[in-house]
Amino acid sequence: MVSEVSILIPVYNQNVLALVETLRQEAISLSITFEIRVYDDGSNAEIQHQNQSLQGVTGVVYQELPQNIGRSQIRYKLAEEARFPYLLFLDNDVLPVYPDFLQRYLVVGNEGVTVGGVAYKENPPTGQELRWKYGKAREEAPARERQNNPYQRVFSSNLFLPKEVFLACFSQNELSGYGHEDTLFAWRLQQNQVDVYHIDNPVWHLGLEPADVFLLKTQQALHNLVLLYRKYGLGEETKLMKAHASLARWKVGQLLRENSNWLFPLLKKNLVSRKPNLRMFDLYRLLLLDKYLKK
């Protein structure tokens, strides 16, 4: 069983008091050596004021960065400055599902990467139906299903691994903006033959975005995917890339391209509604991917 762990939480505009206290209380009950590093990456003043109560709390290291450095760099900085040989990364908008959350990771204690998974509540928050529906259908899955393709669902929102593995395989500043940092990380793990283990130890994903914000993030993520595809050939095995290749073979891509001016508004109207259709979301992403690949 692992007895020393650094819990790392990058923060951006999110109150993390409940998350930190939940983790701290379990760590104390387990009598392990731990730290919880909470680094704020340029949140607004109100959120910073709320989280500043973490200063001076036993076992917590709270730090506010002078300027926003981005999703990848703040994770790398947290890992570099972590005191202990094992790291637990958590996003700032999650809460553990199970009360023995930490213990489930610590008893594994292997030299590879352990992924706990993500869960979504049974009912979608109003205005966030698209993000909830996508997460429920495409991200939430039991460990046995995830283990069938272990490098596909490596989410840094809930990730346990040795510090040296993270620093060796995680890209500090290769991608900017939102999306696919985990895709690049998983690819590097595979290239370095680092084993990935999936266990049933999920966190609730609570900080869901409104549909229009999620669509903007989708655009940013697809832009990054195209960058990785051009540089490393990443993404060829994804369903989206395979669908795009099929369109090219059947010569349907040109037809969709010619009709994209009216298709995009039609698709978006559905996606921001209370009853979004994931097939329409897939078509929306496919059109965007084609657009970015043609640039």
Q: What is the pLDDT of residues 206-226, one digit of tens each?
A: 999 999 999 999 999 898 888
Round to whole Å and give the CA distance between 181 and 119: 20
Residue listed under structure tokens 């030299």 = 111
Stronger pLDDT, 104 or 291, i.e. the higher one: 104
pLDDT of 229 strictly over 70 = yes
Of 143, 172, 205, the position where a domain reaches its end is 205
247-264: pLDDT as tens digits: 766 666 666 666 677 788
Domain coverage including residue 279 = 211-294
User: What tokens appear for 258 in the block?
Assistant: 């010619």
pLDDT of 243 strictly over 90 = no
Q: How much helix, strand and coil, in percent to the nearest 5, is found in the chain?
A: 50, 15, 35
Round to whole Å and give the CA distance between 54 and 36: 10
C-alpha triplet 193, 194, 197: angle, nearest 5°: 130
Q: Which pTM does this prediction carry? A: 0.92
201 and 215 in a common domain: no
**Which of the four pLDDT bands, split at 50, 70 and 90, describes residue 10?**
very high
Rounded mean pLDDT of the chain?
91
Round to whole Å and give the CA distance between 143 and 150: 9
Strand order across the beta sheet in which 158-162 lies: 60-64, 33-40, 4-11, 86-90, 158-162, 113-115, 196-198
Half-sphere exposure of 107 (CA within 13 A, CB side): 8
Phi, psi at 89, each rounded to 5°: -95, 135
Percent of the chain's residues with pLDDT above 90: 71
215 and 94 in a common domain: no
162 and 129 in a common domain: yes
The pLDDT score that the predictor gives to residue 249 is 65
**44: Cα separation from own chain's centroid:** 22
221 and 190 in a common domain: no
174-194: pLDDT as tens digits: 666 666 888 889 999 999 999
| Count of structural domains, the chain | 2
Stronger pLDDT, 142 or 1, i.e. the higher one: 142
pLDDT of 144 strictly over 80 = yes
237 and 197 in a common domain: no
109 and 225 in a common domain: no
50 and 33 in a common domain: yes
Of 205, 238, 259, the position where a domain reaches its end is 205
The stretch 118-123 carries a mean pLDDT of: 96
pLDDT of 133 strictly over 90 = yes
Residue type, 45: A
